[in-house]
Structure 1
Amino acid sequence: MRIFIAGGTGAVGLRMVPLLVAGGHEVYGSTRHDAGRNTLAGMGATGIVMDPLDARSVQDAVAEAEPEVVVHQLTALSGISGNLKRWDQDFAMTNRLRTEATDHLLAAARATGVRRFVAQSFGGGWTYERTGGWVKDESTRLIADPGKEARGALAAIRHLEDAVAISTSSIHRSTSSTSDGAGLEGLVLRYGNFYGPGNAASRDGAIGELLRKGKMPVVGGGTGVWSFVHIDDVGAATVAAVERGAPGIYNIVDDEPAPVNQWMPLLAEQVGGRNPMSLPAWLARPLIGEFGVALMTSVRGSSNAKAKRELGWTPSYASWREGFRTGIG
């Protein structure tokens, strides 16, 4: 197949490209700069310079690739401050990529006759409702209000997921031509919290640095549940979604959602930090905000049962316990 990866030189794109090339696919990847074209060429793919926030640039890039599948991996996660009270500010560009760039890519996909559209979303914990069981599947509703610090980020995630779902539903509304959306299969991948080389939960990443310096405490008992996934497993799962699986939403996480009070001490140990201190929620709230307290105390993890069953994907690191010890980077 001919496959176009928007964000081909990003964290996930770089994992996907070698797998897709090895599988015999013809791969194109977008990059912001000419240097990225060389990176992609070195992996056997063709790089196309594209501005994802410019509709014409996106249209031209997708038209040049003439893909059967478009994969949306556009984010802007470098330089995240780690200040939970500034979540929306830190994710401002990523929010634009999940809204404006998503719309541009979908329009270009329809115009070019793309068959399949795979998009990155998030399912590591904080987006789901914080009631009932501690592990959620894809049928669980997203939370109505995540806290004022992350309302913009949630709105962007909703926009992306709704836009892809609407494109998929057009299969049933129209059969006249691909140009009006008929035949476009949309898959949304709700990734867990990344760990591994080059990511926040690694020795050199933002979370790793905070833990190593003793600046990330366990708040309010640490009962909030997070779901993790190794970056290599993210790449493999995304390739599976390119090649197979019905339209819909899939949680891409490992087998063991975990409360903060379990995963944080182990990660601190692996990055060379001390056992994290504990803070009561009332004392931490002025420092990390309501959203930060929720991340530590009430967020829910995700189940990967659907992805394993319908995509035929199994994480090579079944648990963060093993992954933190041997694959942290």
Structure 2
Amino acid sequence: MQVFLTGATGVLGKATIPLLIASGHQVHAFSHSEKNTGTIRQLGAEPITADLFDRASLTRALAASQATAIVHLATRIPPTMKMGKVASWQENDHIRRDGTRILVDVALAAGVQTFVYPSFYYVYPDRSAQWIDASSTPIQSHVIQQATIDAEKEVERFTSEKERGIVLRLGNLYGPDVPSALEQFQMAQKGIAALPGPGNAYLSYIWAADAASAIVVALDKAPAGIYDIVDDEPLTRNEFAHALAQSVGKRRLLHIPNGVMKMLTGAAADMVNRSQRVSNRRFRELTGWKPTVENAREGWALIAKARHDAGA
């Protein structure tokens, strides 16, 4: 396929582009700076200049790329310490809500056949120890996640025009090149675990390279729809903290009290305290995809090894 990709220089974009090319796709990647252009070329894709919020610019870019598929990875996630402030999400919301709407409009006009959008599993409610699946679990809106829900609706609109729109609800991304994961790891080295929510509440994670492979598999094999992309075994926060402690050679970590965490996470407190045990079963059965990192026990050990090998 001829693929037009946004968010090329983010963590997920850098992991996805080489896999797309290895699978035989030709990739044109959205670029808005000279630095991005250089990075895109190094990854093996062809940079193309456009403005995500300008229809004429996007129309020209899609025509130049002859794209039959769009992979919309663009985001602007705020730094960890600012995630609890609603105002910190405005730029990201603009990209997700308005950028996706405009991109779907232009894609439909250009005859693009496939649109892939990675959403986020925090759209789900607290389900305690029950398994969560996109086909059976209703979403629960939150001010910080409403923009991604709006973006999902735009992808559904794309599908309603008899095209193939695919939403992938990703778990928390982690890996040796993911800044938020490195922050967690460095805090653990100091003996601290910043994990809001009760110890028996579930977290759903996905190794960044596995998320990238899921995007490529979805592009190649998945029917239109909404799918969950998480590892095979979500851990409770207590299990997660234990795995993190082991990866840094500690018996246990000091948990920041939940009251303090609620203050630190601000507007996001209700959302990040939820127990969300998400299943990847449906996507696996439909496509044959399988994560290489099955759970966070394996993942944190791999991050520790990568840090050690790098001398960090």
Q: TM-score range by the shorter chain?
A: 0.7 to 0.9
Whole-Å Cα distance in 2 between the matches of residues 272 and 318 of structure 1?
A: 21
> Aligned residue for 2:283?
307
Q: Which amino acid aligns with 1:11?
A: V
> Aligned residue for 2:33?
33
Of 229, 238, 248, 1:252 maps to: 229
User: Aligned pair in 2 of structure 1 residues 102, 220: CA closer, same or farther (>3 Å)?
Assistant: closer
Is 2:97–2:151's contact at 8 Å kept on the other side of the alignment?
yes
Q: Secondary structure at the match of 1:85?
A: coil
> Aligned residue for 1:229?
206
Is 1:70–1:116's contact at 8 Å kept on the other side of the alignment?
yes
> Aligned residue for 1:199?
178
> Aligned residue for 2:111?
113
- What is the percent sequence identity of the aligned residues? 29
Whole-Å Cα distance in 1 between the matches of residues 62 and 192 of structure 2?
A: 44
Aligned pair count reads 304
Whole-Å Cα distance in 2 between the matches of residues 268 and 55 of structure 1?
A: 49
Of 108, 133, 137, 2:133 maps to: 137
More displaced stretch, 314-323 vs 43-52: 43-52
> Aligned residue for 1:180?
none
Q: Secondary structure at the match of 1:21?
A: helix
Whole-Å Cα distance in 2 between the matches of residues 220 and 232 of structure 1?
A: 27
> Aligned residue for 2:154?
163
User: Aligned pair in 2 of structure 1 residues 268, 59: CA closer, same or farther (>3 Å)?
Assistant: farther
Is 1:63–1:108's contact at 8 Å kept on the other side of the alignment?
no
Is 2:243–2:296's contact at 8 Å kept on the other side of the alignment?
no
User: Aligned pair in 2 of structure 1 residues 98, 220: CA closer, same or farther (>3 Å)?
Assistant: closer
Is 2:166–2:218's contact at 8 Å kept on the other side of the alignment?
yes
Q: TM-score, normalised by structure 1?
A: 0.84
Is 1:70–1:118's contact at 8 Å kept on the other side of the alignment?
yes
Q: CA deviation at 1:56?
A: 2.7
Is 2:115–2:158's contact at 8 Å kept on the other side of the alignment?
no
- CA-based RMSD of the aligned residues comes to 2.4
> Aligned residue for 1:175?
none
Q: CA deviation at 1:50?
A: 2.3
The 5 A counterparts of 1:167-316 are: 167-171=158-162, 184-202=163-181, 205-214=182-191, 216-219=193-196, 221-271=198-248, 275-278=252-255, 281-282=258-259, 284-289=261-266, 291-292=268-269, 295-296=272-273, 298-316=274-292
